[in-house]
Amino acid sequence: METLSQILIVVVFIAMFVVITIGKVHRYIPALIGAVICLLILMLVQRSFDNVVTVLNVGEIFKPIFWYPGNEHLESHGVNWQTIIFIGGMMVMVEGLAHSGFFRWLCLVVAKLVRYKVVPILVTFMLLSGFLAMFIDSITVLLFLASVTIELARLLKFDPVPVIIAEIFAANTGGSATMAGDPPNIIIGTAFGYSFMDFLKNTGVIAWIGMLAALVFFYFAFRKSLVSKQGNPGEHDDHYPSPSEAIKDRTHFLINSGIFLLVIILLITHAETGISVASIGVIAAVLTLLAAGKNAGYIIKRIDWKTLVFFFGLFVVVGGLEVTGILKLVAEYIEKVSGGNIIVIMTIVLWVSAFASAIVDNIPFAATMVPVIANLAPDPGALHGLSWTLALGTDIGGNATPIGASANVVGTAIAEREGYTVGWGRFMKYAAPAMIFVVGICWVLLYLWHF
């Protein structure tokens, strides 16, 4: 029965992955169907109700340590409720910020600072994209940055596609710098008990060295093609939208900006305060909804519930792979191929993560690899190094293709909706070599720093 259940769950996992990659239906549908089938396999084939309880992991939420772990690490298997609750809370906060005009205001402030000159917009919007992605989901970053880029492109008469490609790359790279940056990092951090500062001190430095390398790459790749047909736009600043126009309600704008700042402080200090990321997510959501007042219902409706359901389904399927021993077998195979050499293991994890994330969604890949590297690491030091390797590989590797990460799909979709086609060929012509270049830099730095 054990072997049969393993085979069935692997088939379900592969089918789920294929359907998610094809992208014909929203990814929550195959994830949820896969989760239901996995639970049925555990109950009816493996006949282990204990494994069902382990995978669902609902009891974890009712433990005080879940909300306030202090210096303790809460072992988690199956559904990672820390990740789901934190992302849900951040979604609420981001909707509050968006509703108050915060993101459009910030983009227009940056554009005005560089006097609406196109190449400086490329550089500053890349830096802005990378910085924002350290604290909020890269999808949100691209939703607003790409829209403002197109608005400016129409005013200044330049092609926005190169800038959007560079913004996507910057968002995914900047997101690898912190625990809150990209969903794979949240999954890795909550699984192993890492803090915001743990990521910042390890992946953060490497990511921003990679970011500067990417900035130089895209500057030389696009500086000649990014020519405004407006002559010298800086001479007519008054013709362009003012940042103040983005603020719908000054009081709400200031309150939501304050909530954002508070959440950043809580994230940075949560290792010292002992507050879990789930608690921070709840604080962010409650404060935002209280500040919204009568608009709270609108914000709740705007939450991407489908993505939260996707995370739940994904964790159930990966939990099924874990409790049936499949992921341990994968770890043993990698160890056998590498001969147990930690440098070879690091190299395999980094490059396989990078190229796999270029083809398939990096979130399910990261969730699958977390228990694998836990089984591969011979000691805590090696586990730390492999964790940073996995984070950088999945986050930056997703840059190579238009479907490698959610931010890529959102950014290119906004451009195409507004009449600017971003084909696979054009995207990969610049993004793929940039990805290989930056991941190569990460490999060298990981080797020197952690191994």
DSSP string spanning 327-367?
A: HHHHHHHHHHHHTT-HHHHHHHHHHHHHHHHHHS-HHHHHH
In the block, tokens 């399927």 appear at 317
Residue 393 is predicted with a pLDDT of: 94
Task: Return the residue matching tokens 């001190």.
Answer: 201
392-402, pLDDT tens digit by residue? 999 999 899 88
Burial of residue 392 (number of CB atoms within 10 Å: 0-12, 13-18, 19+) = buried
pLDDT at 427: 92
Q: Count the neighbouring beta carbons within 10 Å of the beta carbon of residue 156.
A: 21
Query: What pLDDT is stored for residue 26 in this prediction?
Result: 82
Of 124, 169, 123, nearest in space to 142 by CA: 169
Rounded Cα–Cα distance for residues 352 and 395 (Å): 12
Given this model, what pLDDT does residue 73 score? 66
| Cα-only R_g, the chain | 22
pTM over 0.95: no
Average pLDDT for the chain:
87
State the virtual CA torsion across 151, 153, 155, 156 in degrees, nearest 10: 150
Measured torsion, CA atoms of residues 24, 26, 30, 33, in degrees rounded to the nearest 10: -130
Identify which has the larger pLDDT, 172 or 416. Answer: 172
Under the banding of pLDDT at 50, 70 and 90, the label for residue 190 is confident
pLDDT at 4: 87
Q: What confidence score (pLDDT) does residue 307 get?
A: 81
In b/e form, how buried is each residue of 421-443, taking b as 16+ CB within 10 angstroms?
ebeeeebbebbbebbbebbebbb
- pLDDT-derived band of residue 442, with 50, 70 and 90 as boundaries? very high
Q: What is the 3-state secondary structure (H, E, C) of 301-328?
A: HHCCHHHHHHHHHHHHHHHHHHHCCHHH
Residue count of the chain: 451
Percentage of the residues of the chain whose pLDDT score is greater than 70: 95
Distance CA 41, CA 148 (A): 48
